Structure formats: C-alpha cells, structure tokens
Structure 1
Amino acid sequence: MAAQLALSSAQTGVWMAQQLDPEDRSFNIGEYCDIAGPVDPDLLQQALREVVAATPALRARFDIGDEGLCQYLDDTVEAPLHRIDVSGEPDPRQAAERWMRQDLAKEYDLAEGPLVTWALFTLGAERTLWYRAAHHIVLDGFGLALIASHVADVYSALVTGRPRRPRPPGTLQQVIASDLAYQESEEYARDRQFWLDRLAGQTEAAAFTDWRPTASRASLRESGHLTPADFDVLRAAARALDVTWPEVVVAAIAVRLQQATGVREPVVGLPVTARTEPMLRRVPGMVTNVVPLRLSFGPHTPFADVVAQTSLRLEEALRHQRYPQEHLVRELPGLPEGRKQFGPDVNIMSFNYHGDYAGRPATVHTLCSGPVEDLTVNVYDRMDGRGLQIALDGNAELYDRAQLSQHLADIVALLRSVTGPLEHAPAGP
C-alpha cells in the first residue's frame, strides 16, 4: 500500500490552480543537459531507478481520499527512460528540442503518475542530451537540480566503480511536517503581518504591457547574455557598493519597469527557495515561493540609492520568505481582477549543477520553469566563466516575440550601462 502524506502549501497552491484549469500545461517544468560524449543508456536507466527509489517525490501521485487531498508515495510508479537517436536528422539538436517541447505540452495524470519524464538523445558519437521534466507539484527548480546532481553521482559511480557519495539526511515527510508546523507557528503570524504592513495600500500591479486577464497556457522565450567581461564589471560595481550582483540586477529591472510604466512604487516578484532550514535544502520537492519587493524611487533618484534600497528590502523579504504568496494575494484588496502576482518576476539562479557524467562535462539548458502570468526575467549564472544568460518568458497572449526581444535588449543595455559611475547615475532617463 502506498504511503500517504499531506501536501505542502506550495503543492496545494499548484493543485488548486491545476483543478481550476485542467488543460493548463504551464505547470510542466523541464530542462536538459548537453553532455560532451556518449552516455551508457542502461547504466543511466539503472541510476534513475536508484534515484527514484531513494526520492519519494518522484513516486508521488495526488488524489482525494477519505482524509481529503493527499499525496501517495507509490513504489510501483516508474518512469521509463526514452532512448531516442536523432543523429540522422539534418539538425539533431533542433529535432531533440522539438521532441522535448512536445513532451512539455502533454498532460500529466496527477492521480496516476508518473509525474516525471526522462529521455536520452544521441546527437552523434560525442554528443548526448539528457532531458528531465516534471509536473511542478512534485518538484521546483531547486529540487530538479538536486535530482540532476544525484543522478550524475550515481551514474558516475556505476561507470567508474567508485563509491557513491553519502546522501545528506532529510525526508519528504520532514519537509511536509516542517511546512505544517510553520503554518501553525508564531513565525507564520509574524510573516503575515510583515507582508500586510509592507504592501499596505498597494493597488497597482505594474507590467511591461497593458495587462489583462488571459487564459494563456503558453509562454514565449527570448534569450540573450552578458559577456564574461560585462559580468566582471557588474560584479566589480556591486562590490564597490557593498552589495551582491543579484541585488544590482533586481534594482536595474525595477528601474526599467518604472521607466516603462511611470509607477513610483514598482513591485517585482522574486522567486525564492523558501528553504530556510538546512534539511529543506537537502530534500527534492516542491517548496518554492515568490516574495514581492516593493520599492519607492523617482525618475532622478541616483541608481546607487535604488540599489541600497533593493538590498535592504531583499534582506527583509528573505527573513519572511516562507509566507505563501497566494495567501497574501487573497488578503490584499486592490489588485486588478484576475491578478495573482504584484508585478513581473525576476528569477535569479546562481549555482552550478552542470554535473559530471563519469568525467564527461555537461551544460544545463532550461526549457520551462513554470507558469508565467505576465513576464519573468530569468538570470542564470552557471558559474562556468561564460557570463550571464538572460531569458525573458512572456505570457503568449500579452507579448509577441518582437516585444520580448525589445524588452530583452533594453534590460541588457541597462545592465551594461549601470556599471558606470553608479553613485551618480540617475534611475530614470
């Protein structure tokens, strides 16, 4: 009989949203790693089976039983490894990505599972892509990274014969227990009051376009980058202001939002791991949250002042990052009908999980990170010396590719320009 668990607050939010729109595929997340060399498919399948057996989230299915909505950890659930040879295609990588995007458009049966997908693409004798996807109810981006790292370690151990690295302690049961305890705690009450005070009177949700409620189930992506030299200058500028480079990036995007809208108190959403305990950072699952950063500045405020304010607000927000965004949206009046967020999201991912597959290096490529209500600015630092990748995901009913490309160009140009004399640079044009 499958073990039974309650859902985390993040999982409950995904479940409710999916029930409201069963045909919405935006909760499918996926990525692939480009491996420089061949991969033994039998050993990768063996590694996947071992990781799935050790990771309850990968065996979860969701249904309403006698005790209400639960997740069932089913030992019989197994996701096969699809083995696909595209080496004979005119453009092997394009053919592989086409298959992946078609897969991301499929429906996952939450009640039956499996809620993950694996595929291995052979592009040639020295080129392999490993694709992994999941429904957001079982994994967030951080959890997907933990899975990728675990699989890379087990696969490498199987190929080389070396021992597997010890797995850090922590269970999905502990993750759920921590979340339930938080919701009954004084910390939850303090976090709630902090956010109600911080966002009191917030009646605007600024957007880079004329926002309207949509039934969009698709998003568009446009990508660009800051060169390694530009990134070095950005980091040096951050050090000069005694802040981190992500704080400079968030401040710059808030400035661009104000330039585009004229709103004096722009709010940007910041996806956070919500993993405030060491145990939570060790266990794959769905825990992530989004915190709103409300800033206040004028068109002639020195950019250094905007950065300082961003740093302070971010520090405060991270201390209260577990309070669910959907709870906050329900409690605050004034947002336009249909809005579930306070502004565009700025999703900064600065960690290295490319992995090493038995001595063969791999580079990760993100395909889809989850629903996009308006616009998400994704900033990736893969810590590989290649600079910053910047990808804009826009709601397909609100943006076309030309608009996304222009917003991307504006943001990249602004990030390059703020590395000048920051203490004097104005926030606006």
Structure 2
Amino acid sequence: MITANVEPVLRHTGLSQAPLSHAQQRLWFIDAADPGAATYNVPLLMRWLEPLDPAALSAALTAVADRHAVLRTRYHLVEGQPVQEVTQSVTVRLDVVDLTGDPNPEDRLHAEAAAAACEPFDLAGGIPVRCRVWRGVPGGDAALITFHHIAIDGWSLSVFFADLEEAYGAVLAGRPVEWAEPEIRYIDFAVWDREVTGGDAARNRLTARAAELRPYASPLVLGLGEARRGGAPTRQGGQVVFEVGDPLRADVHGLAARLRVTPFVVLLAAYQEVLRRWSGRSEFLVGTVTANRPHPATEKLVGFFVNTVPLRCAPRAEDSFSALCGEVRKEAFRSLTHQLIPFDQLSAEIGGNGPLVQVGFALQNMPAWDSVRPRWGAPVQLPTGTAKFDLLLILEERPDAIVGTVEYADDLYSSDLAVEFAGHFQVLLAAAVANPDQRVCHLPLTRREPDLVPPCVLVGPVSDLAGARAAMIGGAA
C-alpha cells in the first residue's frame, strides 16, 4: 500500500487551546528562566496630533484584541508543557495620567514612559498588551502601548496600527467596529507549525542543515569582549542609533540593482567584513531574522511568526566586495529553504555550551502603516536596557534614510565600542559601494590616519589576524 505524502494544511481549527508555535516556545522558556525581564517587551510611544480620548482608545484596543485572538491569549503549563489559551473576551484597560499643571510635563512623561516600558508581563495571568496614556502634555497627548514579543512581530505592527486607526475612528463616530472574520487565527498557525516540523522529512532537513552549520558554530567574540565578561552572561544591554542617509542609502540600492542582489545582501556583506576585522575569524555564523509567513492568510494577522535563521559567513580578505556580495547572495538564497526549521531545534541538534549564534543582523523593511487620516505620529520603540544577542545590528528602511541600531550586551561590550563599531560599518559600507571591485581587506574602517587605528580592532589580511588577535587578548589577560 502506498501512502501519499500530504502536506499539512493551514486552516481554521476552532481550537481555544494548543501548544505554542516553536518561535513562541523559545520566548516562553526565556521568560520562565528570567521572569520579570523586559528583554522581549515591545514598547511603542505615540504622540497624538489631536486630543486623545482614553475611553475611545480603550474601546478600540478591545476591538482589535477581539479581532486578533493572539492579543487575548494567555500562556501557562498543562501537564508540564506550555500551552496557549485564547480568552473569549477581554477589555483592554488604560492607565491614565493627567499632567495638566505639572511644572515639567515632558520630563515626567519621558521618565514614566521609560519605566513603564520595562515593566514585566505575567504571561500566565494577563494578556500580552497594555496601554498607558498621558494627557495635558504641551507637546501632545501620548500613549505607550507595550506588547510582549510572544504576541507580535515587526510585520504585525502595520496590521495592528491600521486596525487600531479604523477602530478608533469608528468609536469616535459612534459606529460599530465591523470587520470580516479572519480566515485563520494565530493559534491555527501554531498548530500547523508543529505539524510541518514533525516527521521524517523535517528531521532529515534538520540533520542536514545542522551538519552544514556545525563547522561555523564556535563562539564569535569581538575585540576584547572575551576579556570583559566575568561570570554568567546577563541580558542587560544598551543601544547606539545612527543614520545612513542619502546619497549613501541611494548608492546601496544602486549597487544592489547593478549586482542583481537585494539591499539586504549589500548591507549584510559590509557587516560580515566588519565582523571579520573585529573578530579575526574568517568563518562564523550570523543570526538573521525572517518574517516566516508561509501563507497569504498570515499576512493580515498580528502574531509572532519570525524565525531566527543562522547564515554561514566566510568573507575572504582577498575577494572583491562584489564577489563577497555574490557569496552572501548564494547563502541567503539557500537559507530560504531552511527558514521553517525552528531555531530551538537547530540549536539543540548542533549542541554546544552557549547559544548557537552570538551576533545578529536584521533589516526591517516590512509594509508601512498607510494612514488615511493620521491621529498620531509615527510610533517610536523605546529601549528596555536589554540585549537579545551579544551584538545585534538592526537596520530599518525609511523613505529617505536607513536608521541603524547597534544593540549590545553590556557585560561584553561598552557603549564606546558600539559607537566605534557603528562608525566602522558606515565607513566601510560607503567605501564598498563607491568601489565594489576593491579587495575587502583594503576597504577602510575609519577615517583616521593609518597610525591612529583604534584599539581592539584588527586590520589586514585574514592570514595576519589570528596571531594578532591572540596577542591582543593575551596582552589584556
């Protein structure tokens, strides 16, 4: 008897309780290991362009949570295993602070918003979204909507804010909030996610990919980071923000078009060469973040779909930058076939004492929130004083610039080092797009004079770097 290999179908299950998706489970275990941490808080501060109506905003948030069940889902243990359970209905309540007459309303707003951004979530006892409002601020009323990442990702934000705008306008106008029933819910995706990662075929893919990555999987440490860390790693961290404006942003897109690659490839190639210089390593892994929305029905859903996909990096010092882009393109394309492999399964398969990847890269170019009548300015994500990787470079595409953020673990790296790293990335990127046929080892990292290279940074061909780094770390010991 021959049995057909039927691919699991993503469909509406009608379930109110199910296991977590693989992506959610990883965050749940992190939260369980370090309860009270704000590492995966997503705090978004919005300044209103008109007087804010707290009652209407509460009703609108409740309507959006009614549409997107993941925003009214709790996470708890059943027979020793984490499950998600959809609550039938919730009311999203607001904490309202009136700053009318306060002598320093802006200072108080920013101080209170920074503190609220770091307040922990109780994933078992509450829903993964909350809101605080400040009224009477001369610069405009403000609202801080904070999510736990287990319920939302970057792609989801445009969906969420479009629905919130529609619901808020309807409530103000006294109209009912009416939407078509979603084709699926996030819990349905979680069930599908578990189905597609089971079975022999999925196991074979996992084993093959782990074998490809294992030779690259030793820890990647930059500069003197290894000498700084003493004791167990923490998740405390900081951020350095910079901007890649025109004409460099336009040059990146121009080079990508000429090489028939994406801007992601050009930016990641530059990042890899900076990492090679700072680490003295010619082979390493970088964790990239993929949207992982495998079906059109998921594109209009709020939820946590992203997966961390490790990429093999092997920048060769004597290659041109164009050639490096070609190699990065091949690996990035191959990684698309592996984006459904859960990161936690891959990490377990490869093994090791620490995390599979220490350094991350993310290019955020998700669909923008297209407002019909904007009632608030662009939401700003507040820092939480935490770090998801030892070092993470986040680049966000905007119409006139690329905004970069270097997020770093402060038990390994300092803010001065992060500033230096961000500067090196921009200098090398500019030189690379200006002369993509130049060997990458000759691309400058700094605009300083040659004899003023900053400490803890290795410059030169790959053959020179290993010994130089060993001497540098030995001298710091």
Offset at 1:185?
A: 4.5
Q: 1:161 to 1:357 in 2, by over 3 A?
A: farther
Answer whether contact 2:216 2:284 (CA < 8 A) is retained: no
- Residue 286 (1) aligns with residue 300 (2): no
The answer to whether residue 214 in structure 2 is matched with residue 200 in structure 1 is yes
Report 1:68-79 matches (<5 A).
68-75=81-88, 77-79=90-92
Q: 1:401 to 1:75 in 2, by over 3 A?
A: same
C-alpha distance in structure 2 between counterparts of 1:280 and 1:351, whole Å: 14
Alignment correspondent of 1:264: 282
What TM-score, normalized by structure 2, do the two folds share?
0.80
User: Over residues 64-98 of structure 1, what are the superposed CA-to-partner deviations in whole Å (9 max), with x where a residue is unaligned?
Assistant: 23584322212354431233345766765554333
For residues 298-323 of structure 1, give each alpha carbon's deviation from its aligned partner in whole angstroms, at most 9, with x where no partner exists: 22211111111111111111221121
| Distance in 2, Cα, partners of 1:291 & 1:25 | 23
Q: Quick check: 2:217–2:285 contact (8 Å CA) kept in 1?
A: no
**Cα contact 1:268–1:293 (8 A) shared by 2:** yes
Mapped to 2, the partners of 1:166 and 1:182 lie a distance apart of 28
SS state of the match for residue 146, structure 2? strand
Residue identity in the other structure for 1:292: P
Aligned length: 423
Equivalent in the alignment of 1:350:
365
Q: What residue in structure 1 maps to residue 20 of structure 2? A: 7
Residue 129 (str. 1) matches residue 147 (str. 2): no
Distance 1:207 1:88, change over 3 A: farther
Deviation, structure 1 residue 387: 0.5
Cross-structure match for 1:221: 239
Aligned to 1:118: 131
Match of 1:367 in 2: 382
Quick check: 1:226–1:387 contact (8 Å CA) kept in 2?
Answer: yes
Greater strand share, 1 or 2? Answer: 1
C-alpha distance in 2 between matches for 1:97 and 1:425: 46
- Within 1, Cα distance between the matches of 2:233 and 2:214? 29
1:43 aligns to what?
Answer: 56
In the alignment, structure 1 residue 55 sits paired with structure 2 residue 68 = yes
Aligned in 2, Cα 1:413/1:97: closer, same or farther, shift over 3 Å? Answer: farther
- Please report how far the alpha carbon of residue 29 of structure 1 lies from its aligned counterpart in structure 2 after TM superposition: 2.2
Residue equivalent to 1:323: 341
Aligned match of 1:109: 122
Aligned pairs for 1:346-425 within 5 A: 346-356=361-371, 358-360=373-375, 362-368=377-383, 371-382=387-398, 385-425=399-439
Pairing partner for 1:183 from 183, 188, 197? 197
Q: Which amino acid aligns with 1:189?
A: R
Secondary structure at the residue paired with 2:216? coil
RMSD of Structure 2 on Structure 1 (CA):
2.8
Is the 2:155–2:367 contact (alpha carbons within 8 Å) kept by the matching residues of 1? Answer: no
Aligned to 1:28: 41
Deviations 1:361-414 (A, max 9, x none): 6213222597523011111113xx330110111112222221111111111222
- Return the offset for 1:208: 2.5
Aligned-partner SS, 1:120: strand
SS in 1 for 2:59: helix
Structure-2 change in CA distance of 1:317 and 1:413 (3 Å): same
Report how far residue 126 of structure 1 moved.
6.2
Tell whether the 8 Å contact from 1:13 to 1:326 is kept in structure 2 after alignment.
yes
Distance (Å, rounded) in 2 between the aligned partners of 1:205 and 1:407: 19
TM-score for the superposition, normalised by structure 1: 0.89
Q: Percent identity?
A: 19
8 A contact 2:158–2:367 mirrored in 1: no
What residue identity is the alignment partner of 1:170? I
In structure 2, distance between residues paired with 1:214 and 1:67 = 27
Q: How many Å separate the matches in 2 of 1:410 and 1:88?
A: 46
Q: Separation in 2 of the partners of 1:316 and 1:165?
A: 39
**Separation in structure 1 between the aligned mates of residue 285 and residue 136 of structure 2, nearest angstrom:** 43
Deviates more, 1:223-232 or 1:418-427: 418-427
CA distance in 2, matches of 1:141, 1:371: 17
Q: Per-residue CA shift, 1:317-359, capped at 9, x if unaligned?
A: 12211211121122214x4x3x223231111101343453734
Structure 1: state its 5+ residue gaps. none
Q: Secondary structure at the match of 2:27?
A: helix
Q: Indicate conservation of the 8 Å contact 1:33/1:129, yes or no.
A: yes
Residue among 257, 266, 278 paired with 1:248? 266
Aligned equivalents of 1:118, 1:174: Cα separation in 2 = 27
Q: Measure, in 2, the Cα distance between the counterparts of 1:268 and 1:279.
A: 30
What amino acid sits opposite 2:280 in the alignment? G
Moved more, 258-267 or 324-333: 324-333
CA separation of 1:104/1:419 partners in 2, compared to 1, >3 Å: closer, same or farther? same
Instruction: Judge conservation of contact 1:355–1:361 (CA < 8 Å) in 2.
Output: no
SS at match of 1:223: strand
Residues 18 and 24 of structure 1 are in contact (CA less than 8 Å); yes or no, is this contact kept in structure 2?
A: yes
**CA contact 1:36–1:361 (8 Å) conserved in 2:** yes
After TM superposition, the structure 1 stretch with the greater mean CA deviation from structure 2, 368-377 or 398-407, is 368-377
Cα distance in 2 for partners of 1:353, 1:174 equals 25
